[in-house]
Structure 1
Amino acid sequence: MMLVSVHADAGWWSRAPVDFEECAASAEKSAASSEEKGKLLTACEARFAGRRKPGGGYTYYDFMQNRHFDIAGPNPTKEEQRRIDEQYAVFLKDQRRSIIAAAFFRKQQQVEQANAALEASGKADPVNIRLTPAPKRRARHLTVLPRPRPETAPHCGSDLLSVCNRSRMSAGVHDIKKALFGSFAKRSATDAHSVRAHPPAGAVRAAK
């Protein structure tokens, strides 16, 4: 009986681990060095995804979602894996919405801060608002011609025999002669015309 019991105990220890905890305990006992122990534990983690729960059963930690999922065995079944993937898709959608909402909120805060700064300063930002100058009109240049000046009589001085004074005296005598004799000649011509038109009575009788 004792031999059977020893062989039975030896068979129990030689069987493969059923979960991560048994695999880790086996690695702890069989590892000859810390380096070998690390390699065995890494192999246990790759083999078993679930971990034992204190009250029984297993739990699976999805580090992509930072969330634990309850599973029936040491590894999730196909149905459990499908449910985990569906939850991951929902998680990505929520993350995308959160990122968009956070970006929109930050942008809205920047706009509100800029508007508050503009209201506080009381003037617009000269960098963002540019005024287009009005086109300049070409000025018309007017050419001003010199005004003609009236001719002034030359200053002859006090010398009566100078050429200037003699010329002025000749012009004056000519004007006087024109005024006197011109009027007289005009009057004589008018009288002669009147005599021819109306001869005296004695002259008419003598002619007869």
Structure 2
Amino acid sequence: MSPVIAWPRAALLPVTAAGLLLMAMPHAQAQWWKRAPVDFEECADAAEKAATKAEKTSALADCNAKFAGRRKPGGGYSYYDFLQDRTFDIAGPNPTPEEQKKIDTAYTAYLAKERRNNEAAEAAARQQREQQELQARQLQQVALRTEVARVPVPVERPKVQQTVGQRKGAPCAKSSFSCEWPRLSESLNDLKKLFNPPPSKPAKKG
């Protein structure tokens, strides 16, 4: 082989190696950026770098679907159960099976408590309605008695005292004209007999 021809081929080897290295470096960097996020906060930070608003919204939705927990300021994570409106402490970015079982047990107790509260509220409302109905009936009875009391009672007509001649043995008030008149009439008849004696009958002829 001629030395003149061999030299350019040998010089190309370092250039080729350098090109391959440059091509490999961006690929390595891309692999580092594609590392899966460990929790919601890291996932959300990556979503903020999305090129468009639509991509950002989609990426945040994926973060919510992947991670249920949220970082706590003092360390660890918390899980918010909107069904119970309550927050639970969890060790990692997602509840473990044991932690999920604890959350489900708490939800069962929450439902039982809500049912008891609803039953107590319904009983109290029913008792209040019954008391209101009883008071309404009592008020109606009072109003009815008041109306009856306002109606005037018919006055009985006074009994006319009967005279002695009309009813024998009936009590007669003293100095009453109806009682004194019969006696006065008898006295007047006696006086008339004294002053006007009846004519004597003629004697019968034998």
Q: Distance in 2 between matches of 1:8 and 1:54?
A: 33
Q: Distance in 2 between matches of 1:9 and 1:121?
A: 89
Q: Distance in 2 between matches of 1:60 and 1:72?
A: 10
Q: Distance in 2 between matches of 1:72 and 1:107?
A: 47
Q: Distance in 2 between matches of 1:107 and 1:24?
A: 51
- Which residue in the other structure is 1:19 paired with? 39
Gap runs ≥5 in structure 1: 125-208
- Supply the RMSD in Å over aligned alpha carbons: 2.5
Question: Greater CA radius of gyration, 1 or 2?
Answer: 1
Instruction: Give the share of equivalent positions with the same residue, in percent.
Output: 57
The answer on 1:98 being equivalent to 2:111 is no
Corresponding pairs, count: 120
- Which residue in the other structure is 2:190 paired with? none
Q: Distance in 1 between matches of 2:53 and 2:121?
A: 46
Identify if the C-alpha distance between structure 1 residues 32 and 10 changes in structure 2 by more than 3 Å, giving closer, same or farther. Answer: closer
Which of 36, 40, 44 is the aligned partner of 2:63?
A: 44
The answer on 1:77 being equivalent to 2:96 is yes
Shift of 1:14: 3.4
Identify if the C-alpha distance between structure 1 residues 93 and 73 changes in structure 2 by more than 3 Å, giving closer, same or farther. Answer: same
Shift of 1:108: 0.8
Shift of 1:44: 0.5
Gap runs ≥5 in structure 2: 1-21, 144-206
Q: Distance in 1 between matches of 2:88 and 2:99?
A: 9
Q: Deviations over 1:87-139 (max 9, x none)?
A: 00000101111111111111111111111111122179xxxxxxxxxxxxxxx
The answer on 1:111 being equivalent to 2:130 is yes
Q: Distance in 2 between matches of 1:57 and 1:7?
A: 34
